[in-house]
Amino acid sequence: MNRFDELAKIWDEAPYRVENTKKIGQAIVENVPLSKNWKVLDFGVGTGLLTFYIQPYVKAIDAVDNSQGMLEKLKEKAESANVLTINPILKDLEKDDLGENEYDAIISSMTLHHIKDITSFLKKLYKTLKKGGYLAIADLEKEDGDFHSDNDGVYHFGFSKEELENYFKEAGFENFKFLIVNKIEKNNKEYPVFLAIGKK
Ligand SMILES: C[S@@+](CC[C@H](N)C(=O)[O-])C[C@H]1O[C@@H](n2cnc3c(N)ncnc32)[C@H](O)[C@@H]1O
């Protein structure tokens, strides 16, 4: 059992999370030419807050997470909304293979900071994107390490535009774009949330 299994039960109850993924979803819709023919990967999908926002614009979404609890919540939500185009998949993003030339787009919200080795992970994402496909990742901009009350499993205290651009380029992505799409208010501070976009 990982800590996200427990958190899954109350994940959607925090209004800032719902609001944040809505703003990320809006920015993706505005900046990525989503199509009803597209097969999409949402990595670190959680309970699907971003996936449910994007799902009406595409054909299908592979919803990957390594927390059984998160995926169960996602399945419950999909069943009660009668949504058949979201496929929950239990995988460890760092250890497991994600295939080759599988996806038209890859999206993600607030998960990259949980990935230890960003260089090899982005190369894995590049491999599983189709030529011309889009990568759109949202996460925290560089922070002091006080965003999470527990930093267990947090391998990066956010990311700067410069370091992300380097990671994207190193993996082979082109047309790098970096937008601030939200500011989360917490601990009497504002934590900017970016959306970084690249193209294969
Ligand atoms: C902060 S949550 C974000 C969830 C969701 N994307 C959202 O914005 O509400 C991070 C998610 O990444 C998942 N995760 C973390 N490390 C992972 C790994 N190595 N493989 C697969 N999933 C992982 C966690 O289980 C959790 O659901």
| Band of pLDDT at residue 1, cut at 50, 70 and 90 | low
pLDDT tens for each residue of 56-111: 999 999 999 999 999 999 999 999 999 999 999 999 999 999 999 999 999 999 99
pLDDT tens for each residue of 152-184: 889 999 999 999 999 999 999 999 999 999 999
**Residue ranges of domains in the chain:** 3-199
DSSP bridge partners of 88: 63
Q: Name the residue of 51, 52, 66 to mutate for ligand 1: max ligand atoms within 8 A of Cβ.
A: 66
CATH 3.40.50.150 fits 3-199, yes or no: yes
User: How far is ligand 1, taken at its centre, from the CA of residue 47, in Å?
Assistant: 9
Distance CA 98, CA 111 (A): 16
User: How far is ligand 1, taken at its centre, from the CA of residue 173, in Å?
Assistant: 23
Check if the beta carbon of residue 34 is closer than 8 Å to that of residue 57: yes
User: How far is ligand 1, taken at its centre, from the CA of residue 44, in Å?
Assistant: 4
Please, what is the average pLDDT of the chain?
96
